[in-house]
Amino acid sequence: MQLPPVPKTPSWLLALQFEANIFGCMDAITQRYGDMVTVMFGSTPTIYVSNPSAIKEIFTRGKEIVARGALNKEEFALFTGEQGVLQLDGAHHKNRRKLLMSAFHGTRMQACGQHICELTEKIMAKQSIGKPFLAYPMLEQITLAIGIKVVMGLRQGERYEKVKELFATVFKHELSSTMQLVAKLPFWEWDLGRWSPQGNLLYLRKELFQLLYAEVQERRKQCKQLDSSPTDILSDLVLATDDTGEPISDEEIRDLLISPIGATQGASATAIAWALYWIHSLPHVRDRLLAELNGMGENPDIPTILALPYLNAVCNEVLRIYPTQLFSFPRIVESPVEIMGYKLSPGTIVIVNIYSTHQREDLYPETKQFQPERFLKQQFSNYEFLPFGGGSRACIGGAFALFTMKLVLATILLRYQLNLVKLQPEKPKFDGLLCYPGSGVKMIMQSRYQHKKQS
């Protein structure tokens, strides 16, 4: 076996450097060792790849390099359940993925657009003129509500409020920096009920799973009595059958609901928060974007907003410079394969380094600078620009995240004049899953504009 270069730094020290400054560490490793790097975890080599030609081979050679669901179980099964889409394989994974993606494309996604705009206005209207607020947590409220609507069809009522509260609590609990630190300590797995971190997480998980299971059972009863077509993922799953013609179990449906809600909330909120930061940090970007938005005239329709070229370029540059997903899901070499001259043996783990791919100077000159114009001048391949991963494990809600991002940004910028409280660089933080603005993007509302309604 011939592996890519291996950093001389011991893996335990490398892990500490990643914890302290993951972006600086990745930049330094790539600069020194190139775009294919091997890190040894015990006796298992893990190869991080940021070469577009190699990425293409990884995503297209599915027989030799396989995206096994088992590789995701340790990190995600506790939260998403044993039968979540990330843990599935083969035809089973392909079938469930197709069902989940149906709501994130086509006419159903378009029908959700007006709800996104209205929900954004409703939550933004709660902010007071002249009073600072944190944009990131506010955007998490918006995108979580959107996710629950798209996935479960809920938008109000007692059960909706309870689902929203539990999801928000579990997300905050599991992804907080404190929990990330505590999880590394020896007593993490002690279950002392709600008095211990792990016990409290398990309690919250149980509550959430029970609530989702009850909603699945209730929806199954409702769908038997309705003749209309389903309008959300939950109803799709309840009415669907597997390859043998049998309905999907309530337990599996419960597990399948969690990832798309989490993806809708996390990826979208993070990306929109970064967008508000960059737009309001750079006056020339804000002025050009506002000119494009205002050029639509009164009552712009949603398709017109989605087609705006500069808005699209701004969103893409946001997703390039700090992609919400820094790495692809891991893949494993199952039969000998050669990638870019390196001969990889079975058992080798391969991970696409999305962040470092997006930082290549040969693709993106002045890579640390926020320059939306690069996406107006050039079209990048799916192996050069891949903010939502790629191949069979690409984010199921990637297209919907971009859709949501555009509509939320347009609604906010057309209705409100915002400024950053402090003009200082926003430092990124990585919680093990998402790359988010460290201080939450502190903003202040200066005024409200005359209403322009999206139709």
Enumerate the known binding-site residues for heme: 395
Beta carbons of 259 and 80 less than 8 angstroms apart: yes
The three state secondary structure string of 112-135 is HHHHHHHHHHHHHCCCCECCEEEH
Q: Which residues contact 28 (CB under 8 A, 6 or more apart)?
A: none
Beta carbons of 210 and 254 less than 8 angstroms apart: no
Encoded tokens for 216: 């699945």
3-state secondary structure of 27: helix
CB atoms within 10 A of CB 132: 14
Beta carbons of 324 and 266 less than 8 angstroms apart: yes
Query: How many C-alpha atoms does 373 have within 13 Å on its Cβ side?
Result: 7
Encoded tokens for 106: 């086509």
Among 361, 350, 357, which Cα is nearest to 393's? 350
**CA separation for the pair 416, 26 (Å, rounded):** 37
**CA separation for the pair 209, 215 (Å, rounded):** 10
Binding site as annotated, residues: 395
Fill in the amino acid letter for 39. V
Measured in residues, the chain has a length of 455
Fill in the amino acid letter for 445. M
CA-based Rg of the chain, rounded to a whole angstrom?
22
3-state secondary structure of 342: strand
Among 162, 222, 146, which Cα is nearest to 397's? 146
Beta carbons of 118 and 239 less than 8 angstroms apart: no
Encoded tokens for 92: 């089973």
Angle at 416 between CA 414 and CA 422, to 5 degrees: 125
Beta carbons of 145 and 408 less than 8 angstroms apart: no
Q: How far is CA 158 from CA 142, 161, 222, 250, in A?
A: 18, 5, 17, 21
Strands (E), 301-389: 331-333, 337-339, 342-344, 349-352
> Is 366 exposed, middle or buried, given 0-12, 13-18 or 19+ CB atoms closer than 10 A?
exposed
